[in-house]
């Protein structure tokens, strides 16, 4: 496709949707497009890159404003950037409130020219926040008004259509990975069997289950657990590790930028989530040849092929998830076979070269003369 100028809005410092949006911007710029991030913080990993720009949204406070109106400040900034940098389109990640701002920006530009917007749904914007009665009507409206909508899994697409009663087309574009960045490094592997969990430690991630799984695994195998990230469930998880007497075997790393350096050191990834629309952390693990043991929820079965590229158990079923981990740690041949299959799946199905053109095709569609 011919090169375009794209305004991308996301939560740049928090969660999987920010990582996907940031990596998408990087990949688009490498393909010759001009990318303008419009947000409240700079996606740090992109500083100094060619054809990537950052425009901060300033939210002025005022004594009358009990809640500073970020949505409006964002819409104004989108229009400003669109005008001065001749943006062709906006691409917003996470529906709330970004697609509402994009809707406003498109309408404010209408007298001058078209400014279509694409909304990418990531998960909790639909499954948790969007279904809250305070946000339901505006989420439904902004999805219906988007020029194109993408969802990161077939499951999320179907949930969106069902929950909001939406008939409009939604394209499924999965999360993606750069296999050159996320690589296996068998020579870096810890000598001791090591489980890893990476998340933002929200209740939906069921972080405490990781600690319980380790306690059960340790009845059969002398293993450690690395907890990477931070959030509300961190302190309860630390307390549980102490209560179970395994605090020496659980390391809390806090937030880490260098996941491609950390991940390949582990043997198995734990992702015991209550809900997961796709599971970017599991894809990162698979690309590094680290076998995921996860829950059969949301879009996870679209990523993990049970017993081939990972294992899937029921939510909260510590016994079965721990059982899968024990099998992997006690059978090195099984671990190696599944690690290789996981890497292959990441490389072939979720590679940037497969997925980025799908976004480009959407851009082409919304930019086609009406
Ligand atoms: O759950 C997170 O880590 C954050 C959340 C987000 O929206 O930032 O992640 C969602 O988007 C990721 C990237 O598309 C998906 O891989 C995650 O599965 C999804 N999280 C949930 O559905 C809970």
Q: How far is the CA of 195 from the centre of ligand 1 (A)?
A: 21
- Among the ranges given (95-104, 126-135, 229-238, 242-251), the one the predictor scored with the smallest mean pLDDT: 126-135
Q: Which residue from 11, 14, 17 has its CB within 8 A of the most atoms of ligand 1, so it is best to mutate?
A: 17
pTM confidence score: 0.95
In the numeric block, which tokens belong to residue 219? 């009845």
Q: Which residue from 277, 292, 299 has its CB within 8 A of the most atoms of ligand 1, so it is best to mutate?
A: 277
Q: What angle do CA 296, 302, 303 make, to 5 degrees?
A: 90
- Hey, whose CA ends up nearest to atom 9 of ligand 1? 16
Q: How far is the CA of 363 from the centre of ligand 1 (A)?
A: 23
Cα distances from 212 to residues 99, 241, 267, 282, 339, in angstroms, run 39, 8, 18, 19, 24
Q: Is residue 176 within 6 Å of ligand 1 at its C-beta?
A: no
Q: Which atom of ligand 1 lies nearest, measured to the CA of 202?
A: 1
Domains and CATH numbers, the chain: 5-176+352-367 (3.40.50.2000), 186-349 (3.40.50.2000)
Cα distances from 58 to residues 83, 153, 250, 331, in angstroms, run 18, 33, 41, 55
What integer best gives the mean pLDDT of the chain?
95
Contact 121, 96 (CB under 8 A): no
CA separation for the pair 121, 109 (Å, rounded): 24
Cα distances from 82 to residues 59, 74, 97, 106, 324, in angstroms, run 19, 12, 18, 10, 51
- Read off the pLDDT of residues 250-309 as tens digits, 9 standing for 90 and up: 999 999 989 999 999 999 999 999 999 999 999 999 999 999 999 999 999 999 999 999
Interstrand relation of 224-228 and 148-151 (parallel, antiparallel or unpaired): unpaired
Cα distances from 51 to residues 6, 48, 81, 168, in angstroms, run 11, 9, 15, 33
- Read off the pLDDT of residues 36-67 as tens digits, 9 standing for 90 and up: 999 999 886 676 789 999 999 999 888 889 99
Beta bridge partners of residue 298, listed in sequence order: none
- Hey, whose CA ends up nearest to atom 21 of ligand 1? 276
The residues, any chain, with a CB within 8 Å of residue 171's CB and separated by 6 or more, are: 148, 149, 150, 151, 358, 362
CA separation for the pair 89, 9 (Å, rounded): 11
The beta-strand segments (E) located in 21-73 are 34-39, 52-56
* Cα diameter, the chain: 69
Q: Is residue 303 within 6 Å of ligand 1 at its C-beta?
A: no
Q: Is residue 12 within 6 Å of ligand 1 at its C-beta?
A: no
Q: Which atom of ligand 1 lies nearest, measured to the CA of 152?
A: 14
Q: Is residue 15 within 6 Å of ligand 1 at its C-beta?
A: yes
Q: Is residue 279 within 6 Å of ligand 1 at its C-beta?
A: yes
CA separation for the pair 297, 314 (Å, rounded): 8
- Read off the pLDDT of residues 99-121 as tens digits, 9 standing for 90 and up: 999 999 999 999 999 999 999 99
- Which of the four pLDDT bands, split at 50, 70 and 90, describes residue 171? very high
297: alpha, beta or left, given left = phi > 0 and alpha = psi -120 to 50? beta
CA separation for the pair 308, 196 (Å, rounded): 19
Q: Which atom of ligand 1 lies nearest, measured to the CA of 127?
A: 22
- Read off the pLDDT of residues 331-348 as tens digits, 9 standing for 90 and up: 999 999 999 999 999 999
The residues, any chain, with a CB within 8 Å of residue 188's CB and separated by 6 or more, are: 264, 265
Q: How far is the CA of 190 from the centre of ligand 1 (A)?
A: 28
Q: Which atom of ligand 1 lies nearest, measured to the CA of 283?
A: 16
Give helix then strand counts, H and E, for the chain: 14, 13
Query: What are φ and ψ of residue 136, in 5° steps?
Result: -55, -55
Q: Which atom of ligand 1 lies nearest, measured to the CA of 298?
A: 22
Asked if pLDDT for residue 74 goes beyond 90, the answer is yes
pLDDT score of 103: 98
Share of the chain above pLDDT 90, in %: 90
Q: Is residue 71 within 6 Å of ligand 1 at its C-beta?
A: no
- Which of the four pLDDT bands, split at 50, 70 and 90, describes residue 12? confident
DSSP string, 189-254: --SS-EEEEES---GGG-HHHHHHHHHHHTTTS--EEEEEB-STTHHHHHHHHHHTT-GGGEEEEE
Q: Is residue 17 within 6 Å of ligand 1 at its C-beta?
A: yes
């Amino acid at each position: 496709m011919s090169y375009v100028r794209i305004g991308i809005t996301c939560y740049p410092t928090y969660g999987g949707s920010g990582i996907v949006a940031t990596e998408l911007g990087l990949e688009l710029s490498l393909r010759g497009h001009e990318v303008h991030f419009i947000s409240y913080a700079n996606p740090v990993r992109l500083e100094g890159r060619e054809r990537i720009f950052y425009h901060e949204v300033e939210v002025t406070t005022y004594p009358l404003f009990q809640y500073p109106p970020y949505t409006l400040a964002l819409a104004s900034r989108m229009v400003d950037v669109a005008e001065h940098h001749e943006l062709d389109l906006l691409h917003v990640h996470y529906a709330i409130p970004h697609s509402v701002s994009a809707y406003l920006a498109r309408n404010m530009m209408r007298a001058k020219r078209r400014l279509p917007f694409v909304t990418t749904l990531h998960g909790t914007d639909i499954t948790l926040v969007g279904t809250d009665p305070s946000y339901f009507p505006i989420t439904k409206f902004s999805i219906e008004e988007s020029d194109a909508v993408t969802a990161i899994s077939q499951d999320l697409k179907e949930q969106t259509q069902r929950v909001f009663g939406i008939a409009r087309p939604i394209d499924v574009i999965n999360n993606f990975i750069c296999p050159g960045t996320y690589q296996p490094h068998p020579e870096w592997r810890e000598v001791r069997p090591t489980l890893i969990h990476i998340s933002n430690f929200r209740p939906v991630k069921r972080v405490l289950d990781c600690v319980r799984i380790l306690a059960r695994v340790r009845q059969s195998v002398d293993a450690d657990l690395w907890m990477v990230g931070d959030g509300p469930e961190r302190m309860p998880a630390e307390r549980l590790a102490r209560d179970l007497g395994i605090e020496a075997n659980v390391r809390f790393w806090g937030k880490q930028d260098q996941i491609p350096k950390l991940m390949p050191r582990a043997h198995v990834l734990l992702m015991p989530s209550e809900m997961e629309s796709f599971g970017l952390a599991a894809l990162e693990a698979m690309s590094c040849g680290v076998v995921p043991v996860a829950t059969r929820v949301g879009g996870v079965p679209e990523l993990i092929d049970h017993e081939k590229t990972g294992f899937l158990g029921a939510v909260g079923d510590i016994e079965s998830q721990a059982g899968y981990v024990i099998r992997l740690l006690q059978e090195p041949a099984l671990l190696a076979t599944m690690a290789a299959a996981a890497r292959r799946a990441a490389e072939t199905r979720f590679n940037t070269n497969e997925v980025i053109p799908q976004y480009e095709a959407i851009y082409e569609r919304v930019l086609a003369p009406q």
